[in-house]
A and B are shown apart, each in its own frame.
Chain A
């Protein structure tokens, strides 16, 4: 299943780890990304391949150049925050889960047994305005606040 296409995304050497410790409940997506992939943003290449979209298709949707997207996919730098909702939309993936994988949020008190996000888990970790506890409850709502803040600073933040 897409074996050859993905080969460049993976680490050259698989890290070694204990067979027993923490094994019986499986790995979280975050630990899978860290363990097997050459860099964090390789997840974007993976999503693009699974969605059967070209680099140009995605770059166009995101409003950035092909070169910039390629650069982002190959780097370990944090994907610009304001791009993440659009990325989630283009690939039809869960925004909260994508935020966590791209390093913009933490999954918090996740119930490993059932792989669910609890109600209050995701704390935004970006250098924006301070967030109240209530604001953290719904990250999608937070996005609106953050993006509005970014819009008001238009010109200061370049993607």
Chain B
């Protein structure tokens, strides 16, 4: 899938592609996300970004491709986002979703990466006959984003204290309608 993201530094739209991760994606993560995260954390110790161990998450997807699928959002050769889906029998869970550290927050470089990954997930859910429904455990600072795209807190909290959010069929359709103008392929 390809969609238009917005480069707030260049002040222009770019095309971002979501595709399956490869071994090279792990190298991209380590060599671009990791140093960028450290640099930003040193500049601002309150940088609220959550850097997951994506190399392990991606490796696991190679080992269990039927239940754990990872995708990257690439703008050219740059890895701008990562997504890991847990494939259940009756519903689809977003296990991990992240935009790159340089895209994080309102002043980040690329806009629309998270929404593009959610759109991709909704389509994936429909393809699996789950009607666009999906759920996830949201980190505290990402709850605003999930609310904004129409997801609703279920009231459940996981072992790490993260609140569970869900997208229903109606919310999914509404989100698809809003985002589809950005989709190019």
Interface residues, chain A, CB within 8 Å of chain B?
A: 1-4, 6-7, 9-10, 14, 16-19, 23-27, 29, 32-33, 35-36, 43, 46-47, 50, 91-94, 96-98, 101, 113-117
Main DSSP-derived SS at the B contact region: helix
Residues of chain B within 8 A of A16, CB atoms compared? 56, 59
Q: Are B35 and A92 in contact (CB under 8 A)?
A: no
Query: Given known contacts A32-B38, A115-B47, A115-B48, is B141 in contact with A2 (CB within 8 Å)?
Result: no
Q: Are A14 and B55 in contact (CB under 8 A)?
A: yes
Q: Are B139 and A2 in contact (CB under 8 A)?
A: no
Nearest Cβ distance between residue B43 and chain A, in whole angstroms? 6
Which of B13-21, B111-119, B156-164 lies at the interface with chain A?
Answer: B156-164
Q: Does B140 contact A (CB under 8 A)?
A: yes
Proximity bits, B113-145, A CB within 8 Å = 1, else 0: 000000000000000000000000101110000
Residues of chain B within 8 A of A4, CB atoms compared? 31
Residues of chain B within 8 A of A117, CB atoms compared? 45
Residues of chain B within 8 A of A116, CB atoms compared? 45-46
Q: Are A26 and B52 in contact (CB under 8 A)?
A: yes
Nearest Cβ distance between residue B80 and chain A, in whole angstroms? 10
Number of A-B pairs, beta carbon distance below 8 Å: 104
Q: Are A93 and B56 in contact (CB under 8 A)?
A: no
Residues of chain B within 8 A of A29, CB atoms compared? 37-38, 41-42
Q: Does B154 contact A (CB under 8 A)?
A: no
Give 14 new A-B contacts, CB below 8 A, not counting A18-B56, A35-B53, A47-B42.
Answer: A1-B36, A2-B32, A2-B35, A3-B28, A6-B35, A17-B56, A25-B160, A25-B162, A26-B49, A27-B53, A92-B43, A113-B140, A114-B48, A116-B45
Q: How large is the interface on B (under 10, 10 to 19, 20 to 34, 35 or more residues)?
A: 35 or more
Q: Which of A10, A27, A97 touches B51 (beta carbons < 8 Å)?
A: A27
Residues of chain B within 8 A of A36, CB atoms compared? 30, 34
Residues of chain B within 8 A of A2, CB atoms compared? 31-32, 35
Residues of chain B within 8 A of A17, CB atoms compared? 53, 56
A1 to B39, CA, bound (A): 13
Q: Does B102 contact A (CB under 8 A)?
A: yes
Q: Does B178 contact A (CB under 8 A)?
A: no
Residues of chain B within 8 A of A32, CB atoms compared? 34, 37-38, 51
Q: Are B38 and A33 in contact (CB under 8 A)?
A: yes
Nearest Cβ distance between residue B26 and chain A, in whole angstroms? 8
Q: Are A96 and B53 in contact (CB under 8 A)?
A: no
